A and B are shown apart, each in its own frame.
Chain A
Amino acid sequence: MSSARTDTNAGGRWLGLYVLAYLVFLYLPTLLIPLFSFNDSIQAAFPLQGFTLGWYETLYGNPALSGALANSLVIGVIAASGATLCGITVSYMDLYGRSPLAATISAVARLPILIPGVIVGISLLILVNLVGLGPSRIAIVLGHILVALPTTVVVMRSRFAAIPKTIREAALDLGASDWTTFRRVMLPLSLPAVLSAFMLAFLTSFDEFIVVFFLAGTEPTLPLYIWSQLRFPRSLPTVMALGTVILTVSFIIAAAAEILRHRGLGAARRNPA
């Protein structure tokens, strides 16, 4: 018995080392971007040439860049709002609507996971051309709602499912209408998840490249701007400085979303009506 226990402990320690190595592999290549963004050389190569903030200075006063940034922010906020609204309603009706239609919508909403981005992109490109929009910011918003939809549905569905059924039933039994129950009881109880879904949807849109590539008209988003700069070896360090900023912001938003996703669940569980 005791030998078996030490066996698993030793196994756990080896496994722990493996996980550490895995994390290093996961982060090391990406962390090279911030490292070389401070390097005083046009090439991303060792040995390091000395510390500079010059590449960050090139980010200022660049109208193409700030235009792309503004585009990305506006599109991200609108697309995340749309995706969150859809995620809330789709998962709520999937859980409580008790209709085949609601279940179908919920299943189809998670379908984009099983479609490669390139096909999502071209199918929307055909669609927006058909309805006369053409590649445009609205087209990008539609595409990003689609790309973020599985995430918001999954986040909201697990949150609604974690709220004890008795709470909703109590509200309905006390005479609250469906709308009041939804707005005054279920939505406030899942507010942290709503914020989390919104932030994750925003990040998805903000970083998305594969679909936006097909849908952008004359106003590129930030990832498209980066893509266009990759052709020029001279702008490599600027891209790395920009990439560092984006990675930092993504890190902060993702961390906040993660904290929010788990917040408040304890309260709902502790006082089940």
Chain B
Amino acid sequence: MSTIVAVRPSPETRISPVFRFAMLLPGGLVTFFLILFALGLVIFLAFRSNDGSLLGAGLTAANFVTVATDPLYWTVTLRSLVIAGLVTLATVATAYPVAYYLAFHAGRRRNLLLFLVTLPFWTSYLLRVFAWKIVLAYNGVLNSAFIESGLWSEPTLAFLNTPAAVVVTLAHAYAPFAILPIYVALDTIPKSLLEAASDLGARPFTSFRRVVLPNSMPGVLAAALVVFVPTVGDYVTPAMVGGPASTMIGTLIQSQFGKANDWPFGAALSVCVMLVILCVVLVARGADRRFGSRT
């Protein structure tokens, strides 16, 4: 019996070349051509100078010199980082208790609640941002509701066109992103760990702080990443509710490929954003290795 098993070729080694080729083709085309080659083009274009042609001319680092020396780009990058950081912090902090409830307290309602928190993820981002515009507008929902209730008599301009409006809107728009990774991390913590902690005399808060929180850190970091990345490059929300004081790096990139029409410079800005994201990913990886005690 055992000899037969040993002689039999493993199913994994029998894959025919034709099948392998056919199965790898669609994904291979999309990943190598649409993702890697297209990103390579962006990096290439970033080192060209703008002469009005599609791929620019020459080979130059002038775009990066401009980005590094013009204080405007430092201000906008810093603002993008602060806004995205605040959004990430707010989103993860508010999502954690929800994920915790789903993992440990939801019981029979778990599937329904999971569905309800992920549903907004599949609805239009544009409409969710638009909803905040009508909430915060001068003649909008919030102002009119406050006047109606007699809290104040004049509508205030203070809501719309502020960086705070951008933070609130983005935090709301990306809220569903954060719950799932944290929930998965919490849900995979072995229940025996919690029982052991309580048997060894840990009070609920101690066992949360020393057992649950460290074990859920990989999920928290994953959640932070999936919120941070799309928010740091966002240009729709600043345009809708942010006003001129909330210009973000995504807005600048978009205008380079639109009104400003300097594609090489826009590509250089994009490369800088990707470098910033790479740094954040590396920091998150490092933190994951430090806190991720399970692996």
Interface residue ranges, A against B (CB under 8 Å): 4, 7-8, 11-12, 15-16, 18-19, 22-23, 25-27, 29-30, 32-33, 36, 43-47, 82, 85-86, 89-90, 92-93, 96-99, 101-102, 104-106, 108-109, 111-119, 122-127, 129-130, 142, 145-146, 149, 168-169, 172-173, 177-179, 182, 200, 203-204, 207-210, 213-214, 223, 226-227, 230, 236, 239-240, 243, 246-247, 250-251, 253-255, 257-258, 262
Contact = CB atoms under 8 A, between A and B. Distances in A.
Chain A contact residues, majority secondary structure: helix
B78 interface: no
B88 to A, nearest CB: 14
Interface of B: 8, 11-16, 19-20, 23-28, 30-39, 41-42, 45, 54-55, 94, 97-98, 100-102, 104-105, 111, 113, 115-120, 122-128, 130-135, 137, 139-141, 143-145, 148, 172, 175-176, 198, 204, 225-226, 229-230, 232-236, 240, 250, 253-254, 257, 263, 266-267, 270, 273-274, 277, 281
A8 B208 CA distance: 12
B140 A15 contact: no
B31 A109 contact: yes
A36 B254 CA distance: 32
Contacts of A32: 131, 134-135, 141
B172 to A, nearest CB: 6
Contacts of A226: 126-127, 130
Nearest to B131: A29
Contacts of A29: 128, 131-132, 135, 172
User: Top 6 closest A-B pairs, CB basis?
Assistant: A116-B233, A90-B27, A45-B144, A123-B38, A254-B122, A207-B124
Nearest to B20: A97
A10 to B, nearest CB: 11
A168 B10 CA distance: 12
A118 B140 contact: no
A123 B31 contact: no
Contacts of B13: 98
Nearest to B134: A44
B119 A251 contact: yes
A86 B126 contact: no
Given A29-B135, A108-B36, A207-B123, A18 B98 contact: yes
A254 B105 contact: no
Nearest to B270: A119
A258 B115 contact: yes
Contact of B28 (A18, A105, A247): A105
A29 B37 CA distance: 40
B30 A146 contact: yes
Contact of A89 (B27, B41, B140, B225): B27
B38 A230 contact: no
A47 B149 CA distance: 10
B123 A247 contact: yes
A91 B177 CA distance: 22
28 contacts: A30-B123, A33-B127, A33-B131, A43-B139, A44-B134, A44-B141, A45-B140, A45-B144, A86-B26, A93-B24, A97-B24, A101-B28, A112-B35, A113-B226, A116-B230, A116-B250, A119-B233, A119-B270, A127-B33, A127-B37, A168-B11, A177-B19, A178-B19, A179-B19, A203-B122, A207-B127, A210-B125, A246-B127
B97 A4 contact: no
B101 A15 contact: yes
A132 to B, nearest CB: 10
Nearest to A239: B130
